[in-house]
Amino acid sequence: MLKIAQRAGSVAEAVRVAQEVVDAQPVDVVYFARFVKGPQG
């Protein structure tokens, strides 16, 4: 999933360490953002 977001032009904005539990294992949640240049630049 990380590579998909990166290839789409998104940038990792934040990481929440051990935020969720999947199969009894803590996993990180990574937030992505895609920044678009506005009309001024």
The overall pTM is greater than 0.75: no
SS3 state of residue 12:
strand
Distance CA 35, CA 12 (A): 11
- pLDDT score for 29: 97
Q: Which helix (H) or strand (E) segment is 2 a member of?
A: helix 2-7
Task: List the one residue out of 30, 41, 39 whose CA is nearest residue 6.
Answer: 30
- pLDDT score for 8: 92
**pLDDT of 5-38, one tens digit each?**
999 999 999 999 999 999 999 999 999 998 888 8
Is it the case that residue 40 has pLDDT exceeding 80?
no
